[in-house]
Structure 1
Amino acid sequence: KPARTEKSLLTERAPNPFWDKLMMGHGFTKEHANPRSHAFMLVDHLIVDRAYGGRFQAKNGWGYVSMPGPVKAWDVLDDRYPDSNEHKAFLPESAPAANPTCLQCKTQDKILQWKYMGDKDDRAKWNRGSNVVEFVRELNTAMNCFMCHDPHAAKPRIVRDGLIQALTRPEKDTLWHKDAKATKIDVKEFRGGYRKIALLEKYDAKLQCGQCHVEYNCNPGFDPKTGEYSIKAADQRTNHFPFKDVLQIYDHYNGLGFRDFKHTLTGGLLWKAQHPEAETFWGSTHDKVGASCDSCHMPKVRNAKGKVYTSHWQTSPRNYLRQTCLTSKCHPKLTEAQANYEIDSVRNFTKGKMRKAEFWLSALIDKIVEGKKAGLPPDVIKEAQEQHQKAHVLWEWWTAENSDGFHNPALARESLT
């Protein structure tokens, strides 16, 4: 995919003018780009306008976008303000929205210097509240092998603390808990709770990819009861995985007592999704027949010598349809043209529903603004703002989810109509 392709482009997932209006007040309006390969995700995160205020820039201009991966961040980027560790906007139309918890999905370079859940500890150099500029200066590598492969036991594993916490919380309320066929996990605790990992009984991409391709909260935010921006990095809610689907997420965050941002026009508190692919795929048609993330994104392929191996390109199945969609186990009677046609049809249908949702959400925002100007009672405005949040959640999920509904077309339709 081309680098820095904004989701708000007319041809992309959340086109303007609706995107900036519906998300007004959130840093993602500064730049919200489609993801590239995992090899570039740390570099792309550091340079995006919404994250570090323009502090980090490519050493050799736009040439960095065509470099072959994997790339090390500081071979490609410069810190334009090396004498300052202040996390602020340096360039117009940028934002300093990044934080140390957000980086746990991009790299685990400092896994041994980060306590479970990012809590403060004298043994840990870094925590949720650390200065993120100082933190990223010590990071260099995107997506480490040991995030999914245990180097000691030679077993599949997960290391992402927020996911491990979700899978072990006493409520037992996640999609994984409610799945009778869910892969069993064995949580290992080290040094009195300083670190935890979870070994898996078998490779399970829904859990391993679900360390990052998942909805999670990684930032400070608002208490919906008080309306105050009072939930800071010291609160564990700033490193939280619901691990639930789009129809459950409103109730979950209400129970948690968290909202991400205040909408500039309505004054209401809203949620911002991250990339919830794992939860979207869970329970889908493909999931029910035994397909998993790796079936489509990490197929078995042959090298030049004929040796079979698992591709770690982790790209769209469109790039190797014969090894994914068109195998004897899946859709052997389809041609590549037919497969692409079906994929486009599903995605375009979902995007059409998203455009309709954006029209009505925009109209709702206008009415709330009109109501405030007309002097409607505060309780009426508050109820309208809450209804806005309910509707917003069902739309925003799909702007962050990266399949345009293809991972679960039925769920997309149900939540968008």
Structure 2
Amino acid sequence: MKNKLLYSVVFILAVIAGAALFALFTDINDKKNQERHYPLMLNKVSDTNPDIREWGKNFPTQYDDAVAMKDIFFETPFSGSLPYSKLMRWPAATTFWQGYAFAVDYNRPRLHFYSQIDQIETMRNNKEYLNAHGLPAFQGQPGFCVNCHTGHLTAIMNDPDYDKILQVNPTESSKLEMGFFDIDKENGEKRKLAWTKMNSIPYFDVMKMVAEKHGEDAFGGSHLGSACADCHHPDDMSLRVTRPGFVNAMVKRGYEADVKQGIKATRAEMRDYVCMQCHVEYYPGLNADLVFPWTKWPKDEPFKIEMFDEYFDEVHDNGKFVADYRHKQTDAKMIKMQHPEAELHSTSIHARSGVTCVDCHMPYKRVGATKVTTHTIQSPYADITAACKTCHMQSEDDLKERISFIQNRHAYELRNCENNLHALIEDINTARAELAKHADFAGLEAKEQKAAISEALKDALWAHRKAHIRWDFAFSENSYGFHGPQEAARITGQCQSVAREGQAILANTLNKYGINIALTQKATLPNPPEKIELHHGLVATPPSARLLQIDEDVKNRDFK
């Protein structure tokens, strides 16, 4: 009797187990079938129409993620997507950028949906406003800025309609040396000419051209921000790079160009490159090409700030690029750093471990049977679990504390850099005033006197330029040190020491003229600027009380 009962129980359990296994295998098979049909390219897309609504018909999940960036505004201690005025939070920048548009308006960027809108709306792109606020010679931004601030770049370079508007003549020959276009034997020269002409015409003329073809609206028209076509090939959605400046720079570093991908690379490498093509330092070159100053950065090596020193010294001396602007107070020849995330990230343990930009800023998520990359591109702070805990087993609180320590320490050192750099500027101003009274300079005409004093102070002015490069790199790089903590700390340390060395150089120079001044130790920093009322909504609003308190806490904290 007992055996019969036992056999019955075993039989029932076996049936249940068999049914469970059948259900499991059926579910696995269903999911494999779903994955087999992904991606499903039902709607034909092309580079000539980068409208994300069209591309999104094939990829609704990624499309929904991208569109979600329109309504995401959140604050982190040093990042987030709330577009407050960075000049109000760090008013010393208004002194450091005097003579350049960034001293007038510089805000925390919103997410990639707004990359074009933010560029259009900033006062740095408002000729009349800048002319009335200390930059009377400003003629408006050139088309160079379109390169990374619009999703329409692939259309401008590939659509024959733009050839007519840009008056591209296939028989012309551009002066670019190598790179992105030379690998496309059929259309390379035409695309090269379209790109260089776009770079050279005024910014708003480019946007008017786009609006005439694609419409005025801020969603799929001329204000289209980052788009699918920027990073994906329309044939199969494989990753690629589309920005010519990046490919040209990589080729000069020793990488190989590729017709389809832009650069020959593994898929893992492309998960860095698609971001690196814009999040870099760059400047407008002589022949209407956008230049990344990377020729001193060896292939497959981490970046070092001295590579920029060597590069910018060389192009200064050979006359290819002297400066972004002359400092309004000191007359130093200044370099404006843009947003060198790629350079700093290359120095990090994340880069050495093969962790890419996409891993942290676009982490994977599961949608039904499919694992997809999140296309709401934002700070890892927005989802620590997805962005960080796939590798780090600590709690979210522990990870946030680690981030906080790195960024607060960076902020502390950057404040010290601010003080020393501002002190150097104050002392150069004092020196200029004293030299203007000296017999060697007093009798000269104003313009001649200014040039003569600049020549006398050239070594101190060069120290100003060198210290500024380090402050600007550390300040304008958007991770606030997190992308490469060791190199960031080295850069801010050098900023502090180079600025002090500049003061010593200045004192020695003045001694030759029998002039002594008391070198500034504690600088007098400017007050925050007033809010620009022409801005809309949250743009250029004052930083929150929470952020200002973080800054006060950092100033009073000892990280030594």
- Letter of the aligned partner of 1:22 in structure 2? F
- 2:473 corresponds to: 397
- 1:208 corresponds to: 274
- 1:129 corresponds to: 200
- Letter of the aligned partner of 1:210 in structure 2? M
Aligned-residue offset at 1:9? 2.6
2:463 paired with 1:412? no
- Letter of the aligned partner of 2:458 in structure 1? K
- 2:409 corresponds to: 349
> Which secondary structure does the structure 2 equivalent of 1:395 belong to?
helix
Aligned-residue offset at 1:279? 1.0
C-alpha distance 402-127 of structure 1, shift in aligned 2 (>3 A): same
Does the 8 Å CA contact 2:96/2:422 hold for their aligned counterparts?
yes
> Which secondary structure does the structure 2 equivalent of 1:143 belong to?
coil
Q: Matches of 2:97 and 2:226 in 1, distance apart?
A: 29
- 1:311 corresponds to: 374
- 1:331 corresponds to: 392
Does the 8 Å CA contact 1:347/1:405 hold for their aligned counterparts?
yes
Aligned-residue offset at 1:92? 5.6
Aligned-residue offset at 1:197? 3.5
Q: Matches of 2:288 and 2:350 in 1, distance apart?
A: 32
Does the 8 Å CA contact 1:25/1:264 hold for their aligned counterparts?
yes
- 2:58 corresponds to: none
Give identity over the alignment, percent. Answer: 24
Cα deviation 1:253-294 (Å, max 9, x = unaligned): 121232101100001110101111011100311111121111
Q: Matches of 2:109 and 2:157 in 1, distance apart?
A: 26
> What are the residue-to-residue correspondences of 1:12-411 with 2, within 5 Å?
15-16=90-91, 18-53=92-127, 89=130, 97-114=140-157, 121-123=168-170, 126-137=197-208, 138=210, 139-152=222-235, 154-169=237-252, 172=253, 177=254, 185-188=256-259, 197-198=262-263, 200-203=265-268, 204-218=270-284, 235-236=286-287, 239-243=290-294, 244=297, 245=303, 246-257=305-316, 258=321, 259-303=323-367, 305=368, 307-327=370-390, 330-332=391-393, 334-375=394-435, 378-411=454-487
Aligned-residue offset at 1:374? 1.6
C-alpha distance 335-97 of structure 1, shift in aligned 2 (>3 A): farther
- Letter of the aligned partner of 1:201 in structure 2? T
Q: Matches of 2:395 and 2:289 in 1, distance apart?
A: 46
CA RMSD of aligned residues (A): 2.7
Q: Matches of 1:3 and 1:392 in 2, distance apart?
A: 27
> Which secondary structure does the structure 2 equivalent of 1:214 belong to?
coil
Aligned-residue offset at 1:110? 4.1
Does the 8 Å CA contact 1:157/1:200 hold for their aligned counterparts?
no
Cα deviation 1:330-365 (Å, max 9, x = unaligned): 211x11111111101100100111110110111111
Aligned-residue offset at 1:205? 2.6
Q: Matches of 2:100 and 2:130 in 1, distance apart?
A: 14
Cα deviation 1:76-129 (Å, max 9, x = unaligned): xxxxxxxxxxxx7587689765321111101241434349xx999425554221
- Letter of the aligned partner of 1:34 in structure 2? R
- 2:498 corresponds to: none
2:83 paired with 1:4? yes
Q: Matches of 1:395 and 1:336 in 2, distance apart?
A: 31
Q: Matches of 1:205 and 1:395 in 2, distance apart?
A: 29
- Letter of the aligned partner of 1:414 in structure 2? R
> Which secondary structure does the structure 2 equivalent of 1:383 belong to?
helix
Structure possessing the higher radius of gyration over alpha carbons: 2
C-alpha distance 47-390 of structure 1, shift in aligned 2 (>3 A): same
Does the 8 Å CA contact 1:38/1:314 hold for their aligned counterparts?
yes
> Which secondary structure does the structure 2 equivalent of 1:127 belong to?
helix
C-alpha distance 378-140 of structure 1, shift in aligned 2 (>3 A): closer
Does the 8 Å CA contact 2:147/2:243 hold for their aligned counterparts?
yes
Aligned-residue offset at 1:238? 5.6
Aligned-residue offset at 1:154? 4.3
TM-score (norm 2): 0.56
Does the 8 Å CA contact 1:302/1:308 hold for their aligned counterparts?
yes
Unaligned runs of 5+ in 2: 1-72, 74-80, 171-192, 211-221, 298-302, 439-452, 494-560
Aligned-residue offset at 1:310? 0.5
C-alpha distance 110-285 of structure 1, shift in aligned 2 (>3 A): closer
Higher helix share: 2
Q: Matches of 2:281 and 2:167 in 1, distance apart?
A: 24
- Letter of the aligned partner of 2:314 in structure 1? G
Does the 8 Å CA contact 1:49/1:93 hold for their aligned counterparts?
no
TM-score (norm 1): 0.75
> Which secondary structure does the structure 2 equivalent of 1:128 belong to?
helix
Q: Matches of 1:345 and 1:309 in 2, distance apart?
A: 32
- 1:66 corresponds to: none
> Which secondary structure does the structure 2 equivalent of 1:308 belong to?
strand
Unaligned runs of 5+ in 1: 55-87, 178-183, 190-195, 219-232
Aligned-residue offset at 1:187? 2.3
Deviates more, 1:26-35 or 1:92-101: 92-101
